[in-house]
Amino acid sequence: MSSALRISEAASIGLHTVLLLAQEGQQFLSARDMARTMGVSEAHLSKVLQRLVRAGIAESARGPHGGFRLAAGAEALSLLAVYEAIDGPLRPLPCLLGRPMCDGKSCILGGLLASVNEQIRDQLASVRLSQFLARASGEAQ
Amino acid sequence: MSSALRISEAASIGLHTVLLLAQEGQQFLSARDMARTMGVSEAHLSKVLQRLVRAGIAESARGPHGGFRLAAGAEALSLLAVYEAIDGPLRPLPCLLGRPMCDGKSCILGGLLASVNEQIRDQLASVRLSQFLARASGEAQ
DNA sequence: TGCATTCAGGTATTACGGTACTGCAATTCG
DNA sequence: CGAATTGCAGTACCGTAATACCTGAATGCA
């Protein structure tokens, strides 16, 4: 009974994390530091970071002075790619389960929800990580 | 890891139910019939119907030949009102929990998600139940 | 070579949504 | 007028999924 069209907290953390990493450039950031910066639990963040690494969006280094940074070429990625790396692919959202009622003709809700979904997709896809890149060398955006 | 921007099944059922009721006009529809029509569980539908009644969107009649129908004046309502009666108010969606990071300046994600949310709101608010009203007296739409 | 640091994976816990059950009111028929 | 049937209303249970925790493995430095 609580909320609305929900985006998972994990996805939110992931998006913010990627932004942080982009701002840091080649520098490594530890999970602990990022957790403090964002004010989220380090445990939860770690899990999200694992997803990003496995998806090839970030890369990790262990040991002292280790941490995470954006993988090479990740600047070209969109926020949509990041989102899908965490929460899985963005579903087509076919209406509901409505075979019996909404299959034949185009259900009003189906059309409506589909268009909303398209808009979300477009918005996420239109933003690239390169917009937030702050080069360590000093070259501003 | 499963889905995406999610709309609850309860909300979907509620929206469809209201459409069904609108098409039926003054006639009462039993929960069982509607459940069959939509292909959803009667128990779950009942819960949704309770919400609609308490919100003043639908009205119920007990006993034989009872059921549910749209409340007087409900034709003027929008799909947004129906949605909020079921899933609660549509949150402003402030970003995530991001006080520490996103409070001061406008967070990029906050702005993005907020605009998406606005679009959803507008879409839902632009559709009125009267569009689906089929008068029992015979006057076509 | 040993120790401190940090990531990696698996495991428990909590919260939410969905489901099922039981109770109450109204109507209709005998 | 009374009883049984019909159908809504509220409550309680259960399963799933998201979140928080905990232990282990690997790396780099002294």
**Is the pLDDT at A100 greater than 70, yes or no?**
no
How high is the pLDDT of residue A58?
96
In a domain, B81, yes or no: yes
Which among A39, A109, A120 is the nearest to B16, CB-wise? Answer: A109
Please provide residue B78's backbone torsions phi and psi, each rounded to the nearest 5 degrees.
Answer: -100, 165
A117 burial via Cβ count (<10 Å: 0-12, 13-18, 19+): buried
SS (H, E, C) A34-92: HHHHHCCCHHHHHHHHHHHHHCCCEEEECCCCCEEEECCCHHHCEHHHHHHHHHCCCCC
Nearest to A47 by CA among A78, A14, A6, A70: A14
Q: Which residues contact A138 (CB under 8 A, 6 or more apart)?
A: none
pLDDT of residue A52 exceeding 90, the answer is yes
Is B64 a domain residue? yes
Task: Extract the residue ranges of chain B whose pLDDT is less than 70.
Answer: 1-5, 91-110, 134-141
CA of A16 to C1' of C24 (A): 52
The confidence score (pLDDT) of residue A96 equals 58
pLDDT at res. A138: 42
Check pLDDT > 50 for residue A2.
no
* Residue B1 one-letter amino acid: M
Q: CB contact, 8 Å: A63 with chain B?
A: no
Domain count, chain A: 1
Q: Which of A5, A45, A127 to mutate to probe the B interface, most B CBs <10 Å?
A: A5
**Domain for residue B30, yes or no?**
yes
In a domain, A70, yes or no: yes
B131 within a domain of the structure (yes/no) = yes
User: How far, CA to CA in Å, does B17 sit from each of A16, A45, A78, A98, B98?
Assistant: 38, 40, 38, 12, 37
Residue B68 · residue B29 · CB < 8 Å:
yes
Q: Which residues of A39-69 are buried (b: 16+ CB within 10 A; e: fewer)?
A: ebeeeebeebbebbeebebbbeeeeeeebbb
Nucleotides of C under 7 A from a protein CB: 4-10, 16-21, 24-28
Q: Quick one: pLDDT at residue A139?
A: 42
Structural domain includes residue A39:
yes
Q: Are B68 and B21 in contact (CB under 8 A)?
A: yes
Residue A136 binned pLDDT confidence (cut-offs 50, 70, 90):
very low
CB contact under 8 A, A100 and B39: yes
Residue A137: pLDDT above 70?
A: no
CA distance B19 to A129: 42
Percent of chain A whose predicted confidence (pLDDT) is above 70: 76
Query: How far, in Å, CA of B6 to CA of B119, rounded?
Result: 15
CA distance A123 to chain B (A): 7
Other beta carbons less than 10 A from residue A109's beta carbon: 21
Rounded distance between C-alpha atoms, residue A33 and residue A22, angstroms? 15
Identify the pLDDT of residue A1.
44
In angstroms, the CA A83 to CA A77 distance is 11
In a domain, A1, yes or no: no
Q: Check A39 against B98: CB less than 8 A apart.
A: yes
- CA separation for the pair A50, A129 (Å, rounded): 19
Q: State the count of interchain CB pairs (< 8 A) between A and B.
A: 123
Residue A2 lies in a domain: no
What CATH code is carried by the domain that includes residue B30?
Answer: 1.10.10.10
Question: What CA–CA distance (Å, rounded) separates A109 from A139?
Answer: 48
Distance B109 CA to C22 C1' (A): 47
Contact flag A3-B113 (C-beta cutoff 8 Å): no
Mean per-residue pLDDT, A85-113: 65
pTM (whole model) above 0.95? no
- Asked if residue A61 has pLDDT above 80, the reply is yes
Q: Which domain holds residue B29?
A: 9-140
